[in-house]
């Protein structure tokens, strides 16, 4: 089993990934400022013998962290990195925050480190995809926010009115569940001024087989019919609870349907707002039992 040294080496590997040229200058600038702040802090700590703790790091305008994230809590201290489950860890290997009068940005990029050699490089492939997804969403969200601001001003809005909008962009992740057999991770992006561009990507690892699992793997060849029938059986109670009529004809399930695994190992189907019910109902989730 790998120790702290392996975790640090894994983080360094991902930190060394070059920032693509197409990443916006604004985000690049924030990363550069973060590096300068971190280097300055390290020099100060060496000179004065002071510990730079989590509080000091959180106070910085841009923060880079290597804190271990679990489905329940962060590690209790920077030097205490417990192993989650049997064969995998989830780390925040890069994050940055920026706030101006026009826009606030918060980005946390996860990486998955596997202990088992049976994963056959799957974690590395997923990490590269997640990194690309996070930076692309943040970069494009900045462009959308700037276009929205310009349109607002061009149609008579004032700078003071724009500031009151409190526009923010957030990219983050959640460990949905973790057992010895599986790891389920959600990577999300959202913008405070619109829900049209929110995005969630789910990654469901079979830690025993070393691969990403599908609904067919979990429910069998007739997964679509099994899941749909279970969803339709849950809708009446959902309608009675919310007072909202659901659109049963749109409760379809196929290979592209989003889902995550819960602690019991059951898939939870996720529909975005407006997919199977009016927007007032919000996103809808349906647990499908494998039994």
pLDDT tens for 180-230 read 889 999 999 999 887 767 899 999 999 888 899 999 999 999 999 999 999
Burial status of residue 21 (CB atoms within 10 A of its CB: 0-12, 13-18, 19 or more) = exposed
Alpha-carbon distances of 249 from 221, 233, 242, 246, 253, rounded to whole Å: 22, 13, 19, 9, 11
Q: Where are the domains of the chain?
A: 4-212, 215-287
**What CATH number labels 4-212?**
3.30.565.40
* Span of 31-40, 50-59, 187-196 with lowest mean pLDDT: 50-59
The residues near 217 (Cβ < 8 Å, ≥ 6 apart) are: 206
pLDDT value of residue 84: 44
- pLDDT class of 59 with cuts at 50, 70, 90: very low
173: region left, alpha or beta (phi > 0 left; psi from -120 to 50 alpha): beta
Cα separation of 253 and 240, whole Å?
23
- Cβ density class 78-98: b for 16+ within 10 Å, e for less: beebebbbebbbbbbbbbbbb
φ, ψ of residue 80 to 5 degrees: the values are -115, 100
Q: What is the mean pLDDT of the chain?
A: 77
Task: Report d(CA 181, CA 179) in Å as an integer.
Answer: 5
Q: With bands split at pLDDT 50, 70 and 90, how would you rate the model's confidence at 118?
A: low
The predicted structure's pLDDT at residue 65: 31
69-83, 154-168, 190-204: least confident range: 69-83
Q: Between these two residues, 54 and 285, which has the higher pLDDT value?
A: 285
Half-sphere exposure of 221 (CA within 13 A, CB side): 0
Mean pLDDT of 39-53: 42
pLDDT at 262 over 80: yes
User: For residue 173, is pLDDT > 90?
Assistant: yes
Residue 108 pLDDT greater than 50, yes or no: yes
Question: To the nearest whole percent, how much of the chain has pLDDT over 70?
Answer: 68
As a whole number of angstroms, the distance between CA 176 and CA 161 comes to: 38
Q: What is the pLDDT of residue 194?
A: 75
- 130 vs 132: CA distance, rounded Å: 5
20-24, 91-95, 186-190, 196-200 — most confident range: 186-190
Q: How far is residue 101 CA from its own chain's centroid?
A: 26
Per-residue pLDDT tens digits for 223-255: 999 999 999 999 999 999 999 999 999 999 999
CA gap 207, 119 in Å, rounded: 7
Contact 258/188 with Cβ under 8 angstroms? no
Same fold, 4-212 and 215-287: no
Distance CA 267, CA 254 (A): 13
Query: Which position has the higher pLDDT, 33 or 123?
Result: 123
Rounding to the nearest 10 degrees, give the CA dihedral for residues 261, 262, 265, 270. Answer: -40
Q: How far apart are the first and last CA of the chain?
A: 33
pLDDT number for residue 50:
31
Does 82 have pLDDT greater than 70? no
Give the H or E element holding residue 229: helix 223-242
CATH architecture of 215-287: Alpha-Beta Complex (3.90)
Give the list of residues 6+ apart from residue 181 with CB closer than 8 angstroms, or none. Answer: 206, 207, 208, 265
């Amino acid at each position: 089993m790998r120790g702290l040294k392996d975790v640090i080496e894994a983080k360094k590997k991902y930190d060394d990934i070059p920032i693509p040229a197409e990443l916006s200058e604004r985000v690049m600038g924030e990363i550069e400022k973060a590096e300068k702040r971190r280097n300055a802090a390290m020099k100060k700590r060496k000179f004065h013998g002071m510990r730079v703790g989590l509080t000091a790091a959180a106070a910085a305008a841009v923060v880079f962290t290597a804190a271990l994230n679990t489905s329940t809590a962060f590690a209790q201290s920077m030097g205490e990195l417990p192993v989650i489950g049997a064969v995998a860890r989830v780390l925040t290997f890069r994050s940055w925050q920026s706030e101006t009068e026009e826009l606030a940005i918060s980005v946390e990029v996860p990486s998955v480190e596997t202990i088992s050699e049976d994963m056959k490089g799957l974690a590395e492939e997923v990490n590269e995809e997640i990194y690309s997804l996070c930076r692309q969403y943040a970069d494009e969200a900045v462009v959308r926010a700037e276009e929205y601001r310009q349109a607002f001003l061009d149609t008579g809005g004032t700078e003071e009115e724009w500031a009151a909008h409190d526009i923010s962009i957030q990219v983050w992740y959640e460990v949905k569940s973790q057992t010895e057999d599986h790891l389920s991770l959600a990577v999300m992006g959202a913008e405070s001024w619109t829900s049209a561009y929110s995005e969630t990507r789910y990654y469901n690892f079979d830690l025993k087989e070393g691969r990403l699992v599908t609904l067919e793997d979990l429910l069998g060849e007739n997964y679509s019919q099994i899941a749909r029938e279970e969803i339709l059986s849950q809708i009446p109670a959902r309608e009675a609870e919310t007072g909202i009529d659901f659109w049963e004809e749109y409760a379809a399930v196929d290979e592209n349907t989003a889902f995550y695994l819960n602690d019991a190992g059951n898939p939870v189907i996720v529909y975005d707002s407006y997919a199977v019910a009016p927007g007032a109902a919000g996103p809808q989730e349906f647990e499908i039992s494998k039994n």
